[in-house]
Structure 1
Amino acid sequence: MTTPPLSPVEIFQHVRMVLGMILGLSVTRLLNGLVKIIQHPGTARPDAVHIGWVLNMLLTLVHFWWWQCWLAEVPHWTFEIYLFLVVYMIFLFFLCALLFPDTISDYSGYRDFFMSRRKWFFGVLAATVVFDLIDTLIKGPAHYALFSEEYWFRVPVYLCLCAVAAWSSNRRFQMAFVTVALLYNVSWIVRHFNTLN
């Protein structure tokens, strides 16, 4: 006797659970890092650019979990789609680990650490932008039609900004980028993802 095939909704529930485990590790990493800064402010000096990216990543992770509800619309699941989503989530975890490593004892503070690892951080961040584009396409035309031309403009602009940020140590640019990224992220969520209906 063969078992009946799982429905797309049942597969989605399984995929969502696996993604949730990696997402939970990512959020935990960020929250633990923030708590350490509060508990031991003299051990590693906080930095506005670094904290800005931490807040941006927290928002991105919460938003990631929210927008993945649209995966319930995927009519046919394959291992490739599942693997892609797991790798996407792993990249997001890498960003969190790059923001809060196990120790920064070799650095004078989070500013020094972040700037010395900015090529890694912005390289992985650029990869997540590409993964987001593919993720959007997986969800189908009805999903990406929600975003209009803004989405297709936003992707290359974000990639260019990541490239500049990876190479530039200019403090004003770094501060401007994280501020604009955080504000735009909030704006994007409010305008496009306020409801799942």
Structure 2
Amino acid sequence: MEPPPLADQLFPHIRIVMGMVVGLGITRILMGAASLIQHPNRARVSLIHLLWAVSILVELIFFWWWQFELFAIHDWNFGLFLFVVGYAVVLFLLAALLFPDSLAEYEGYEDFFLKRRRWFFALFGATFVFDLIDTLTKGEEHFARFGLEYYVQTPIGVGFSVAAIWNGDRRFHLALVIVHLLYQASWIVRLFYTLT
């Protein structure tokens, strides 16, 4: 019986599958944006929808960036592999929900987004839980880097997601996406200069 592959040999293999799923999500958003430019009168554009598209694009990029830390994991198993790929799939589904194949049944992107918000925010709320587990998986030192913020961020993110599922008010959704984009910007400024 052959010995199991070393982590430095296994993770690049896992990264290929993960990268394909993340790449599909990024492609979906970029193709959707290109479609808006190519056919500006096909459907009514929405600021809420556009800002969520930017936010989910940033989430996909965040995911890709943080997964570099998985190189440090030496005890890979199929469950951990499924978890990481599952997290990427959830992010892809968020991108796919922003740019549907057809808007024929809807008045535009905002109408589509608000009517499909339950799916979107159920998945979005799940990303906070996935992110917490993903960070814990990378070890105590990696988790400690973020301090108490994770203990606050996760319940608040899940709470806002639950509220967004039940609240269809346009102003609420506009405020929520703006707050989320500002929070993402703060992460970039505070944490994305180095990987340690």
For Structure 1 versus Structure 2, the TM-score category normalised by the shorter chain is over 0.9
Structure 1 gaps of 5+ residues are none
Identity %: 47
Aligned-CA RMSD value: 1.0
The residue number in structure 1 matching 2:179 is: 180
Task: Give the distance between the partners of 2:126 and 2:63, measured in 1 at CA.
Answer: 15
1:5 CA displacement: 2.8
Mapped contact 2:6–2:74 kept (Cα < 8 A) = no
Task: Give the distance between the partners of 1:5 and 1:174, measured in 2 at CA.
Answer: 48
The residue number in structure 2 matching 1:46 is: 45
The residue number in structure 2 matching 1:140 is: 139
1:54-73 equivalences in 2 (<5 Å): 54-73=53-72
Structure 2 gaps of 5+ residues are none
Q: What per-residue deviation string (whole Å, max 9, x for no partner) do you get for residues 170-189 of structure 1?
A: 11111110001011012113
TM-score under structure 2 length normalisation = 0.97
The residue number in structure 1 matching 2:129 is: 130
Task: Give the distance between the partners of 2:191 and 2:147, measured in 1 at CA.
Answer: 10
Task: Give the distance between the partners of 1:126 and 1:189, measured in 2 at CA.
Answer: 21
Does residue 89 (structure 1) correspond to residue 88 (structure 2)? The answer is yes
Amino acid at match of 1:28: T
In the TM superposition, structure 1's runs of 4+ consecutive aligned residues that sit over 2 Å from their partners are 2-5
Amino acid at match of 1:91: V
Amino acid at match of 2:135: T
May I ask how many residue pairs the two structures share in their alignment?
196
1:129 CA displacement: 1.1
Q: What per-residue deviation string (whole Å, max 9, x for no partner) do you get for residues 97-156 of structure 1?
A: 110111111111001000000011000101111111111111010101000111110110
- Of 181-190 and 154-163, deviating more is 181-190
Q: What per-residue deviation string (whole Å, max 9, x for no partner) do you get for residues 14-57 of structure 1?
A: 11111001111111100010111111111111101111110001
TM-score under structure 1 length normalisation = 0.96
The residue number in structure 2 matching 1:35 is: 34
The residue number in structure 1 matching 2:23 is: 24
Does residue 104 (structure 1) correspond to residue 106 (structure 2)? The answer is no
1:4 CA displacement: 4.2
